[in-house]
Amino acid sequence: MNKPTLLLLHGALGAGEQFAPLVPLLRDRFDLHWLDFAGHGARPLRAPGFSMEHFGENVRDYLREHGMARAHFFGYSMGGYVACTLALSHPEVVMSITTLGTKFYWDAETAAREVGRLDPQQIAAKVPHFAQALAARHTATGWEAVLSQTRDLLLALGERGGLRPGAVAGLAPRMRICQGDRDATVTVGESSEMARALPHGELEVLPGTPHEFERVPLARLAYTLTDFFTAE
């Protein structure tokens, strides 16, 4: 039996290697793939810099390079936003989507608050272990450049307003929006509203789950991904 093709999309400040602990829990059921968005991990940054549309093109390039016409997508945080952006612009390549901890609603105030957490000097001084982890992860562009580009990306989202229910009402793929009950970045109300706006959307609140991927109960996440992507 052919396994469903599942492409894993990482979050902001992350890289494909973020999913290493999750892969053993899924590999028996899926043909698994993952990538680094441009400027993240070992992938160099190229013009025009960070944008959801550019990251969507990274995904399309990956599909073409690996001879895949379509795939299922799991997007963590920013990765979920990229998957939705891709489904809006190129629905033919998206079979279904699950997101986790994806913030869809943005405004100038929210963007400014998040950008305030991305100062490299403050991170290096207050959480040096995090700075070291970022430096080890982002070997192509450098962690400080990744922070700078991410700041620009978030500010642009704040100006544009992110994705709202009206923008996703035409999304055709099946989609499950997963929300951690301890997520301090995304509200259950926001996720629920988006799920209701989707033609084939549903919401799942994961117990004991914060926003940070490193603290997500992976066995629980693997269960819901398998349940959703293998459903007829």
What is the token pair recorded at 24? 């053993």
- DSSP assignment letter at 105: B
3-state SS assignment for residue 98:
strand
CB burial class (10 A; 0-12, 13-18, 19+) of residue 195?
A: buried
Angle at 214 between CA 13 and CA 42, to 5 degrees: 40
The CA-atom distances, in angstroms, between 214 and each of 20, 76, 165, 191, 220 are: 11, 11, 29, 21, 13
Mean pLDDT of the chain: 96
- DSSP assignment letter at 127: -
3-state SS assignment for residue 175:
strand
Torsions phi, psi for 5 (to 5 deg): -85, 125
Q: What is the pLDDT of residues 138-192, one digit of tens each?
A: 999 999 999 999 999 999 999 999 999 988 988 989 999 999 999 999 999 999 9
Question: Nearest to residue 80, comparing CAs of 2, 208, 183?
Answer: 183
3-state SS assignment for residue 3:
coil
Strand order, beta sheet including 71-76: 31-34, 5-9, 71-76, 94-100, 174-180, 201-206
Q: For position 202, what pLDDT does the model report? A: 97
Beta bridge partners of 71: 94
Question: Nearest to residue 213, comparing CAs of 97, 80, 119, 82?
Answer: 80
The full set of domains in the chain, from first to last, is 5-105+162-229 (3.40.50.1820)
- With beta carbons less than 8 A apart as the criterion, state whether 110 and 158 touch: yes
Cα first-last separation, the chain: 14
Beta bridge partners of 100: 76, 178
Q: For position 1, what pLDDT does the model report? A: 63
Q: What is the pLDDT of residues 16-61, one digit of tens each?
A: 999 999 999 999 999 999 999 999 999 999 888 999 999 999 999 9
| pTM of the full structure | 0.97
Q: What is the pLDDT of residues 189-223, one digit of tens each?
A: 999 999 999 999 999 999 999 999 999 999 999 99
One-letter identity of residue 91:
P
Question: Nearest to residue 37, comparing CAs of 133, 137, 105?
Answer: 137
Q: What is the pLDDT of residues 78-136, one digit of tens each?
A: 999 999 999 999 999 999 999 999 999 999 999 999 999 999 999 999 999 999 999 99
